[in-house]
Amino acid sequence: MARNIYIENMPLEKALGLFMEHLNDCNWFHMDSEEIDVLSSLGRWTAEPVLAGRSSPHYIASAMDGIAVKAASTYNASEVNTINLDMQEILVVDTGDYIPPEYDAVIMIEDVNFINNQVQIIKAAVPWQHVRSIGEDLVEQDMIVPSLSFIGPYELASFKTASVKRIRVIKRPVVGIIPTGTELIETGNDAMVPGQIVESNGTMLAALCQDWGAVALRHDIVIDDKELIRQAVLEMEKKADLIVICSGSSAGREDYTASIVRELGQLIVHGLATRPGKPAILGIINDKPVIGVPGYPISAQLIFSLFAQPVLYKKMGQEVPELPVRECFISRKLASHAGVDEFVHVNIAKISDKPIAYPLNRGAGLSSVLVKSDGVVHIPRGTEGLDAGAKCQVSLTRSPRVIDNSLVCLGSHDMTIDFLIDILQREQGLRMISTNVGSMGGIMSLVRRETHCAGLHLLDYDSGDYNVSYLKKYLPQDKLLLINLVMRHQGLVVKKGNPFNIQGLKDLVRPEVRFINRQKGAGTRLLLDYLLSREKLSVQEINGYNREEYTHLAVASSVKNDGCDTGLAIYASAKVMDLEFIPIEVERYDLCILPDLISNKQLESLLAAIHSPQFKKRVSEFGGYELDRSGQIIYEYKG
Site for its own copies in 373-432 (CB under 8 A): 373, 399, 401, 418, 421-422, 425-426, 429
CA neighbours closer than 13 Å in the CB half-sphere of residue 541 = 12
Q: Which one of the spans 80-88, 259-267, 561-569, 582-590 is the region binding its own copies (CB under 8 A)?
A: 561-569
> How far, in Å, are 128, 194, 327, 544, 602 from residue 496 at the CA level?
89, 20, 51, 20, 43
Smallest gap from Cβ 181 to its own copies, in A, equals: 8
Terminal-residue alpha carbon distance, the chain: 69
Residues in CB range of 310: below 8 A, 6 or more apart = 16, 20, 320
Contact between 65 and its own copies per CB under 8 A: yes
Contact between 198 and its own copies per CB under 8 A: yes
Binding to its own copies, residues 262-321 (CB under 8 A): 295-297, 301, 317, 319, 321
Report the C-alpha gap between 101 and 392 in whole angstroms. 69
Report the C-alpha gap between 200 and 206 in whole angstroms. 10
Decide whether 389 or 429 has the Cβ nearer to its own copies: 429
Q: Which one of the spans 12-20, 68-76, 157-165, 598-606 is the region binding its own copies (CB under 8 A)?
A: 157-165
How many residues sit close enough to its own copies to count as binding (CB under 8 A)? 125
Q: Which of 546, 614, 620, 632 binds its own copies (CB under 8 A)?
A: 546
Q: Which one of the spans 16-24, 117-125, 364-372, 596-604 is the region binding its own copies (CB under 8 A)?
A: 364-372
Smallest gap from Cβ 490 to its own copies, in A, equals: 18
Decide whether 63 or 542 has the Cβ nearer to its own copies: 63
Contact between 614 and its own copies per CB under 8 A: no
Decide whether 422 or 465 has the Cβ nearer to its own copies: 422
User: What is the helix, strand, coil percentage profile of the chain, to 5?
Assistant: 30, 30, 40
Smallest gap from Cβ 383 to its own copies, in A, equals: 25
Residue 153 gets the label, from left (phi > 0), alpha (psi -120 to 50) or beta, of alpha
Binding to its own copies, residues 23-62 (CB under 8 A): 39, 42, 48-49, 53-61
Provide DSSP, 438-456.
HHHHHHHHHHTT--SEEEE
Binding to its own copies, residues 482-541 (CB under 8 A): none
Q: Which one of the spans 135-143, 237-245, 376-384, 482-490 is the region binding its own copies (CB under 8 A)?
A: 135-143
Smallest gap from Cβ 374 to its own copies, in A, equals: 12
Contact between 187 and its own copies per CB under 8 A: yes
Say whether 235 sits in a helix, a strand or coil: helix
Smallest gap from Cβ 476 to its own copies, in A, equals: 35
Asked if 612 and 448 touch (Cβ cutoff 8 Å), the reply is no
Contact between 621 and its own copies per CB under 8 A: no
Can you list the pairs that 94-98 forms with residues at least 24 positions away whose Cβ atoms lie under 8 Å?
94/62, 94/65, 95/62, 95/63, 95/64, 95/65, 96/57, 96/61, 96/62, 97/61, 97/62, 97/68, 98/59, 98/60, 98/61, 98/62
Helix (H) or strand (E) holding 556: helix 552-560
Asked if 70 and 129 touch (Cβ cutoff 8 Å), the reply is no
Decide whether 185 or 584 has the Cβ nearer to its own copies: 185
Q: Which one of the spans 237-245, 256-264, 459-467, 547-555 is the region binding its own copies (CB under 8 A)?
A: 547-555
Helix (H) or strand (E) holding 602: helix 600-611
Decide whether 67 or 446 has the Cβ nearer to its own copies: 67
Residue 461 gets the label, from left (phi > 0), alpha (psi -120 to 50) or beta, of alpha
Binding to its own copies, residues 77-106 (CB under 8 A): 92, 94-98, 101
Binding mask 231-260 toward its own copies (x if CB under 8 A, else -) reads -------------------xxxxx------
Report the C-alpha gap between 568 and 581 in whole angstroms. 9
Say whether 390 sits in a helix, a strand or coil: coil
Binding to its own copies, residues 432-491 (CB under 8 A): none
| Backbone dihedral angles phi then psi of residue 434, each to the nearest 5 degrees | -125, 125
Q: Which of 82, 120, 136, 599 binds its own copies (CB under 8 A)?
A: 136
Q: Which of 160, 262, 378, 629 binds its own copies (CB under 8 A)?
A: 160
Binding to its own copies, residues 111-130 (CB under 8 A): 114, 127-128
Asked if 320 and 291 touch (Cβ cutoff 8 Å), the reply is no
Contact between 608 and its own copies per CB under 8 A: no
Smallest gap from Cβ 33 to its own copies, in A, equals: 12
Q: Which of 85, 162, 272, 487 binds its own copies (CB under 8 A)?
A: 162
Q: Which of 16, 444, 553, 606 binds its own copies (CB under 8 A)?
A: 553
Q: Which of 11, 84, 140, 215 binds its own copies (CB under 8 A)?
A: 140
Residues paired with 350 in a beta bridge: 355
What Rg do the C-alpha atoms of the chain give, in angstroms?
Answer: 35
Contact between 363 and its own copies per CB under 8 A: yes
Contact between 367 and its own copies per CB under 8 A: yes
Contact between 5 and its own copies per CB under 8 A: yes
Specify the pairing of strand 166-170 against strand 112-115.
unpaired
b (16+ CB within 10 A) / e for 136-164: eebbeeeebbebebebeeebbebbebbeb
Length of the chain counted residue by residue: 639
b (16+ CB within 10 A) / e for 533-550: eeeebeeeebbbbebebb
Q: Which one of the spans 12-20, 198-206, 225-233, 458-466 is the region binding its own copies (CB under 8 A)?
A: 198-206
Q: What is the DSSP letter of 307?
A: I
Specify the pairing of strand 288-293 against strand 281-285.
antiparallel
Q: Which of 23, 63, 458, 509 binds its own copies (CB under 8 A)?
A: 63
Q: Which of 416, 445, 551, 630 binds its own copies (CB under 8 A)?
A: 551
Q: Which of 84, 89, 123, 142 binds its own copies (CB under 8 A)?
A: 142
Cβ-based burial of 199 (10 A; exposed 0-12, middle 13-18, buried ≥19): buried
Helix (H) or strand (E) holding 494: strand 480-494
Smallest gap from Cβ 569 to its own copies, in A, equals: 11
> How far, in Å, are 188, 267, 269, 300, 302 from residue 205 at the CA level?
19, 22, 20, 8, 10
Q: Which of 517, 557, 605, 630 binds its own copies (CB under 8 A)?
A: 557
Decide whether 489 or 514 has the Cβ nearer to its own copies: 514
Contact between 191 and its own copies per CB under 8 A: no
Decide whether 203 or 469 has the Cβ nearer to its own copies: 203
Provide DSSP, 25-66.
HTTTTPPPEEEEEGGG-TT-BBSS-EE-SS-BSSS-EESSSE
Contact between 339 and its own copies per CB under 8 A: no
Smallest gap from Cβ 557 to its own copies, in A, equals: 4
Q: Which one of the spans 75-83, 116-124, 161-169, 453-461 is the region binding its own copies (CB under 8 A)?
A: 161-169
